[in-house]
Amino acid sequence: MGRKGSGVEVRGNSIRVQFTFNGEVLRRTLSVEGKPLPPTAANLKYAHRLAAEIRERIRFGSFSLAEYFPADGDVGQPTTVGTQLDDWLAAQRLEVSTSAGYSSAIRFWKAAVCDRRGARLGDRPVRMLKHSDVLTALASRPTLSGKTVNNYVSVLRKAMELAVADKAIPTNPVSAVTRAKHQKPLPDPFSREEAESIVADMTAHYPAPIANYIEFKFFTGLRTSESFGLHWRDVDLAGKHLLVHRAIVRGVEKNNTKTNTARQVILNSRALAALKRQRKHTQMRDAHVFLDPRYGEPWLEERAFRRSYWEPTLRRLGMRYRPPYNTRHTYATMMLMAGMTPAFCAKQLGHSVEMFLRTYAKWIDGGQNALEMGRLEAALAPDGQQTQPGKVK
């Protein structure tokens, strides 16, 4: 017999648990593959844990009779992984761009195959989700990048953390999934010559506001969303600076940047000249500095600019494709190659110094790398043929 009040009792060669659900005392015999669970010491220990878990879930209103005892049919439908993911997402306060990324992860988990029988992970009851189910689902998509895997796992982990907090499951089966290794690609900036060619080509082929915009981008390093959201009232031409504190992301204007930190950007002569030329086009028409000249409306997303202006320009110039975001990398490397301090550069771009150093370490030494390598080449040169440091013969 089980301990008094434990809800577990031995009946012949079987184990029965007892609990009160919806005001009714229920007794259920534990079984495996249709056969009663024998009352061994290990099985009794399991039965006591199960009975305690059932009482806890009844207490918190998350108990499903069908989840624990399928023979009872649809009395209390079990919470599935897919349902839990939807419930978790509905409980979040998210930016539009973040919500889109989370929704993509949820679609993956709902459709992912998690066992050899082809079962979908989204249909798996939360209580039955195993660590191996998650690994199998990820293995079914070997082409996913390490970064995408980590993003997807993060969403599932957080959804299961909510299930633990709600007492729907005792532990999080995703907590031990290790992060996938991935190498962040290096910035791929345009050279100063390439940047000048792009500005010149746009000046020759498109309305003036397009060339003004891309020159501004190359010489301020603003993110695309920040440049789309820039208002004239945030620009101080006399003081030669502007305030970045708003953005347009996926068609939605918001009064904060990606890092949720406003920053002041000092304007160099090229950025200042582009803004002064732009004044006559938009300052009296709209709050936004840059508008789509085809419709006189704010840019809502980058795709329209990329397809109509950016991609044709690079094709005409025979230039290797890089996205418009790389104008930001270009300005960062311009500043570094000019000998400006990393702390100042990071502040202009809205980075922490640590992140800036990690991202642009390759360019921080500026021309010093060539000088140092020149010294090595001088030492390696045969006698009588040594070159001066910084010059390779």
Average pLDDT value for the chain = 86
Record the tokens describing residue 240, joined without a space. Answer: 């030669």
pLDDT of amino acid 98: 72
Band the pLDDT of 393: cuts 50, 70, 90: very low
User: Percentage of the chain surpassing pLDDT 90?
Assistant: 50
pLDDT (average), residues 215-228: 94
Helix/strand/coil for 60: coil
Band the pLDDT of 4: cuts 50, 70, 90: low
90: enclosing H helix or E strand: helix 81-90
266: enclosing H helix or E strand: strand 263-266
pLDDT of amino acid 365: 67
pLDDT (average), residues 15-26: 85
Of the two residues 11 and 328, the one the predictor is more confident about is 328
pLDDT of amino acid 392: 41
pLDDT (average), residues 65-76: 68
pLDDT (average), residues 362-391: 63
* pLDDT above 80 (res 238): yes
User: Percentage of the chain surpassing pLDDT 70?
Assistant: 88
* pLDDT above 70 (res 62): yes
Burial per residue of 168-190, b for 16 or more beta-carbon CB atoms within 10 angstroms, e otherwise: bbeebbbeebeebeeeeeebebb
* pLDDT above 80 (res 268): yes
Of the two residues 78 and 75, the one the predictor is more confident about is 78
pLDDT of amino acid 1: 46
Give the lowest-confidence range in 39-48, 142-151, 176-185.
176-185
Q: Per mean pLDDT, which of 51-55, 188-192, 362-366 is the most reliable?
A: 188-192
Sign of CA dihedral 346, 352, 354, 356: negative
Predicted TM-score (pTM) of the model is 0.61
* pLDDT above 70 (res 87): yes
Of the two residues 167 and 385, the one the predictor is more confident about is 167
pLDDT (average), residues 264-284: 94
Q: Kindly report, residue by residue over 285-330, the tens digit of the pLDDT.
A: 769 999 999 999 999 888 999 999 999 999 999 999 999 999 999 9
pLDDT (average), residues 209-236: 95
pLDDT (average), residues 214-231: 94
Q: Give the Cα separation of 364 and 187 in Å (integer).
A: 13
Band the pLDDT of 196: cuts 50, 70, 90: very high
Q: Give the Cα separation of 226 and 214 in Å (integer).
A: 13
Band the pLDDT of 368: cuts 50, 70, 90: low
pLDDT of amino acid 12: 86
Q: Kindly report, residue by residue over 89-126, the tens digit of the pLDDT.
A: 988 876 666 777 888 999 999 999 988 888 899 988 88
| Phi, psi for residue 334 in degrees, rounded to 5 | -60, -45
CA distances from 133 to 116, 155, 173 (A): 10, 15, 9
* pLDDT above 60 (res 200): yes
The count of C-alpha atoms lying within 13 angstroms of the C-alpha of 187, restricted to the half-sphere facing its C-beta, is 24
Band the pLDDT of 181: cuts 50, 70, 90: confident
